[in-house]
Amino acid sequence: MLTRSRLVVIPVALLLFGAACETTDLPSAASPPASDWYAYGGDSGGSRYSSLTQIDRTNVDDLEVAWTYRTGDWSHEDGSEGEATGCAACHQGDSKFQTTPILADGRLYVSTPFNRAIALDPERGEELWRYDPEIDIEINRNEGFISRGVSYWQEPGAAAGPCAKRVILPTVDARLISLDATDGTLCPDFGDAGTVHLDLGVGEVREGNYGVTSPPAIIGDLVIVGSSIGDNWRVRIAHGTVRAYDVRTGELRWSWDPIPRSADDPAWDTWPSETAAVQGTGNAWAPLSADPERDLVFVPTGAATPDFYGGARHGANEYTNSVVALRASTGEVVWHYQVIHHDMWDFDVPAQPTLITIPRDGRDIPAVAVGTKMGFVFILDRETGEPLFPVEERSVPPGAVPGEAAWPTQPVPLKPPPLHPTSLSPDDLFGVTPEDLEACRATVAGFRFGEIFTPPSVEGTVMYPGYGGGINWGGLSWDPERNLLVTNLLRLGMWVRLLPREGIELPGSPDALPYGMSRAVLIAPSGVPCSPPPWGTLVGIDLTDGDVSWEVPLGQVPGLAEVPGSEEWGSPNLGGSAITAGGLVFIGAAMDDAIRAFDVETGNLLWKHDLPAGGNATPMTFEMNGRQYVVIAAGGHSSLGSTPGDHVVAFALPDS
């Protein structure tokens, strides 16, 4: 028999992405050496693919830890073992170690949740330098303390001297910092003595609510950056403006606002004119991708404010919830494709657009793959934005409250097929024990159930997929040799309820909205999800025909290992994958503090190794002096409840 105490496996922190709250002519970049992983996604197009083959399916089981480094965010400031000291110790509950290190010019560059930038010797994991921007961690941040990584740029040719090679560090307190990659000192010619302040000229910025969590895109001599802004509680907040800066001087070269501000913009007619003038966000918080050859940068945009009620912004609300191709040299819109019209579900485009190639009719078509929280993957022509597989506009339910004007249709791709179930009924609810099942049913008694795009309501609406995904910032990986996409999915039921705000409206204000909201993950008192397993999967998609090649459970929930059949249930997960030409998919992401390797052609699990903390980040791989390494940040994720830490762990085959 299972006891209740043995089932307390998912902390309250798995209220995941929010608890109850109120709304109110450029040079072409040369292909990187096979040894390098020079950008967050491996390359500027976010493929997360390496052509290295030393580690392959025949020897991956021999991988061992080559070195481990502590950043100091969780250990003592000097990197030694022990609990955090001082102010950092008070705020580690907000820490989300999502970084992917990059390897450039023979050095490994890492960022931490507290925005420290660190250079490491890639073979030994020894610190070469560190820079601490000393962010104020007494201020509550919109999404907590997050940094997914840094960016790298160097002068063309063999230029030398100070800041000829630069590390670009974005921070959660809205700074863009340029560091000399050689020694970690500030580049004084960039902005104000090495820093550009991003929270200026972007509307109403509120303390702790505007920052940058993803590394910017580098294309030519431009650094192009988005922002992370809390967007579920009022209309009038900061604008989600995307900006390009001169990488040497920090001078602003162009800016683009994802919400049209004048009738000259083709998207103006998709907004009420009185709203677009003050409307906030549409922020691009996920990493951008760049195509230097075509002078394009691809921007994944989020929702308009507030997320769950659109009564003040009737219309389709372009360019939000879209992938937008901008002319990198000027910032002008080349094309855009909206994956959600008039979002009412917080269905941001959460992942870096992945630049791929589709073979068709004897030629290779440049394309972009867009992963979404709905579990949909849109495959678009990179030059025009037209879908390369069929997409249907399907009728969806109307809004559930007065004043809401839901868009009548939503786009649904036929191929690849939806990777996440698109509905949940009361009969589908799950419980490991009868008590759990009863509690789950009681939680959602009287709630609305239905297909995806069932609108938020005052009764409460069950969301499946939920506002956390589906696919989240872990994104997609692309194997160009096998023409295969790989992605991991989170499969948790969530709910949202609109809260009438009688008596607290602000007359004459654009924030005088009739509803606030509350939302949460649908879990039993024991912490086990109420939605049916698997709660995490890894999926391979054949891009020749758009069909799913394989799908396997990903991870295991700690505390359920003794439950028969639980090895097939997977785990809630956050993080991404990396593919190698050795036929392997490396991924952490799950709650069980482990990294795994799967066969890219079959999805079979080939290797698993425990980590000292949660591996809720995307791994990377590189080769140095003839030895291939696989590296992952292992520091846990406060929203997922995985084990916290500040470790960077490198694996390699035994050194002969």
Cα 506 versus chain centre, distance = 34
User: CB neighbours of 200 closer than 8 A, spacing ≥ 6?
Assistant: none
Number of structural domains, the chain?
Answer: 1
98 touches 350 (CB < 8 A): no
CATH code at 538?
2.140.10.10
pLDDT of residue 233: 66
Quickly state the pLDDT bin for 119 (edges 50, 70, 90): very high
Residues 498, 514: Cα–Cα separation, whole Å: 9
Q: Which two tokens stand for residue 600?
A: 């890219």
Whether residue 80 is predicted with pLDDT greater than 60 in this model: the reply is no
From CA 397, how far away is CA 638, in angstroms rounded?
A: 35
Looking at residue 467, its pLDDT comes to 95
What pLDDT is stored for residue 506 in this prediction? Answer: 38
- Do 284 and 302 form a contact (C-beta atoms < 8 A)? yes
- In angstroms, the Cα distances linking 222 to 189, 245, 440, 506, 620 are 15, 6, 51, 42, 25
With residue 517 as reference, give the H or E element that holds it: strand 515-521
Range name among 37-51, 175-189, 602-616, 629-643 with the lowest pLDDT average: 629-643
Q: Which amino acid type is present at position 604? A: N
* pLDDT (tens digit per residue) in 186-221: 999 999 999 999 999 888 888 878 999 999 999 999
Percent of the chain surpassing pLDDT 90: 75
Report the catalytic residues: 346
Query: Among the residues of 561-645, which ranges form H helices?
Result: none
pLDDT value for 63:
98
What is the three-class DSSP state of 587?
strand
Q: What's the whole-number average pLDDT of the chain? A: 89
**Model confidence over 52-79: pLDDT tens digits?**
999 999 999 999 999 999 999 986 444 4
For residue 153, give the 3-state DSSP assignment.
strand
Task: Judge whether residue 290 has pLDDT over 60.
Answer: yes
Stretch among 498-507, 530-539, 555-564 having the lowest mean pLDDT = 498-507
Amino acid 113 reads P
Q: What is residue 75's predicted lDDT score, i.e. its pLDDT?
A: 66
**Residue 90: which H helix or E strand, with range?**
helix 87-90
Residue appearing with tokens 């520091």: 635
Kindly state the tokens that stand for 617. 């980040």
Which DSSP category does 182 fall into? T
Phi, psi values for residue 192, rounded to 5°: -95, 90
Per-residue pLDDT tens digits for 88-105: 444 445 789 999 999 999
Rounded to whole angstroms, the Cα distance separating 457 from 418 reads 25
The answer to whether residue 18 scores a pLDDT higher than 90 is no
Q: Taking the CA atoms of the chain, what radius of gyration do you get in angstroms?
A: 23
CB atoms within 10 A of CB 400: 17
Arithmetic mean of pLDDT, 452-456: 96
pLDDT the model gives residue 610: 98
In sequence order, which residues have a C-beta less than 8 Å from that of residue 315 and are 6 or more positions away?
269, 270, 271, 272, 342, 405, 407
Tokens of 25: 């002519």
Give the DSSP letter of residue 436.
H
**Measured in Å, how far apart are the chain's first and last C-alpha atoms?**
49
The residue-averaged pLDDT of 231-249 equals: 87
Return the structure tokens found at 241. Answer: 């403006």
DSSP state of 270: G
Nearest-CA neighbor of 475 among 135, 10, 98? Answer: 98
Determine which helix (DSSP H) or strand (DSSP E) holds 539, and give its type and residue range. Answer: strand 536-542
**3 state SS for 93-113:** HHEECCCCCEEECCEEEEECC
Beta bridge partners, 413, equal 391
Scanning 121-263, the segments in alpha helix (DSSP H) are: none
Q: What is the pLDDT of residue 32?
A: 54
Say what percent of the chain tops pLDDT 70: 90
Strand spans (E) along 375-437 = 377-381, 391-395, 409-413, 423-424
* Residue 12, SS3 per DSSP: helix
CA-wise closest residue to 471 among 509, 523, 429, 418: 418
The DSSP line for 231-265 is -SS-SS-BB--EEEEETTT--EEEEE-SS--STTS
pLDDT at 640: 84
Q: Would you say residue 107 has pLDDT above 80? A: yes
What SS3 state is found at 4?
helix
Collapsing DSSP to helix, strand or coil, 483 comes out as coil
Mean predicted confidence (pLDDT) in 375-394: 98
Lookup result for tokens 């654009």: 510
The pLDDT score that the predictor gives to residue 269 is: 92
Place of tokens 């080769």: 623
Structure token digits, residue 286: 């996920």
Place of tokens 């949740």: 113
Give the separation between CA 76 and CA 89, rounded to whole angstroms.
10
Higher pLDDT, 311 or 617: 617
Does 30 have pLDDT greater than 50?
no
User: Model-level pTM?
Assistant: 0.93
CA–CA distance, 217 with 32 (Å, rounded to integer): 15
Side-chain half-sphere CA neighbours of 402 within 13 A: 2
- Report how far residue 589's alpha carbon sits from residue 611's, in angstroms, rounded to the nearest whole number: 11
Residue 319: is its pLDDT beyond 90?
yes
Nearest by Cα to 544 from 414, 411, 361, 378: 361
Cβ atoms of 163 and 186 within 8 Å: the answer is: no
Give the domain range for residue 541: 4-652
